[in-house]
Amino acid sequence: MTWQLQEQFPELASELVRLLKNAGEPALASQVVGLRIVERCRCGDDFCATFYTEPKPNGPFGPNHRNVVLRPPRGMLIIDVVSDVIACVEVLHRTGIRDKLIALMP
């Protein structure tokens, strides 16, 4: 089962749009409204709320991968982009998001 980011985490979605625009990434900001959560990170770190918006790769993302490091007021947000498509949203040190994500995808 997949989840619509905008429906499950509306504040995070709004924050991502704002931060991506501020980072000079309007094309990525426009993708946020349609992002789906297809899997969560299962690393087991108690501070990780990372989720995939595209199927998780077997291994590294590959040569067309880049990171966009955002500057949120709390925690860390890093966007993994593959061929100009948001593939993963790394969310760190945001306990509320982590708890809800684990409840959605145990």
CA atoms of 72 and 53, how far apart (whole Å): 20
Residue 80, pLDDT score: 98
Instruction: For tokens 């709004």, name the residue.
Output: 14
Helix, coil or strand: residue 102: helix
User: Please, what is the average pLDDT of the chain?
Assistant: 97
Q: Work out whether the CA dihedral 74, 6, 19, 42 comes out positive or negative.
A: positive
* Segment 50-78 mean pLDDT: 96
Per the structure, the complete domain to which residue 80 belongs is given by 3-104
Q: Structural domain tally of the chain?
A: 1
pLDDT digit string (tens) for 18-61? Answer: 999 999 999 999 999 999 999 999 999 999 999 999 999 999 99
Residue 1, pLDDT score: 85
CA atoms of 58 and 70, how far apart (whole Å): 25
* Segment 69-92 mean pLDDT: 97
Residues 6+ apart with CB under 8 A from 87: 52, 53, 54, 61, 65, 80, 81
Q: What is the pTM of this model?
A: 0.96
Residue 92, pLDDT score: 98
Residue 60, pLDDT score: 93
